[in-house]
Structure 1
């Protein structure tokens, strides 16, 4: 029973995260903090007015604003974007029976196999040399 509940909770949280992001896009596209009345008036399709108002109230809380600022700051510190999707390196390695180096390459290359930036390619080469020296 616990596994079933954990599985359902994981699905719920994934959908909630995606839905919250879409709601935030709607909020910002319709005035955001500068025009809260307009944002409240533009209820997203498929959401009740009550839930939309609760969502807008949440976006206006100090807690949400602080977390949003911290997330923005953290994204700006990243040297490059991981293109590996939602899977962690560990999950990718386990599911595909790959090394962590292969996971890094998967997460930092474009669909045609080229690295997305010189910095990512340099980092891969550094990691590759380090792995080879440990063998």
Structure 2
């Protein structure tokens, strides 16, 4: 499998576009490897269901991508090239992120001088991102919604 390599321009629009693309690529890889999420009880952390009967896990590797760590209601990806992305799932099950998560991605790819407000503004106008509120966003046409009901 080809390795995911992140190249990012310097503008806030470039960074936001790469962030969104990276989320989609990481979550697509995750959904190909695992059959879904499980949460044993309300308030319990979620885990990925493996293809093996009764198997779950909270961290692992994705071929050609890097490592992932499930946390609370989210997932953090550490890519092989050093880039990092982190997303959460909102109460309604949609993927959700804010300008802080975009800023952390920007810093992980060497764009440390970028302004958080500029990233927030760029996310608000990005065609691949839908704004939920002042500083909450999701991927437009989100195909990564999870169900919080127990199986």
Query: Same fold by TM-score, threshold 0.5 exceeded?
Result: no
Higher relative contact order (CA 8 A, sep 6+): 2
- The alignment's TM-score, normalised by the length of structure 1, stands at 0.30
Structure (1/2) with the larger helix percentage: 1
- In our comparison, the structure showing a higher alpha carbon Rg is 1
- The alignment's TM-score, normalised by the length of structure 2, stands at 0.28
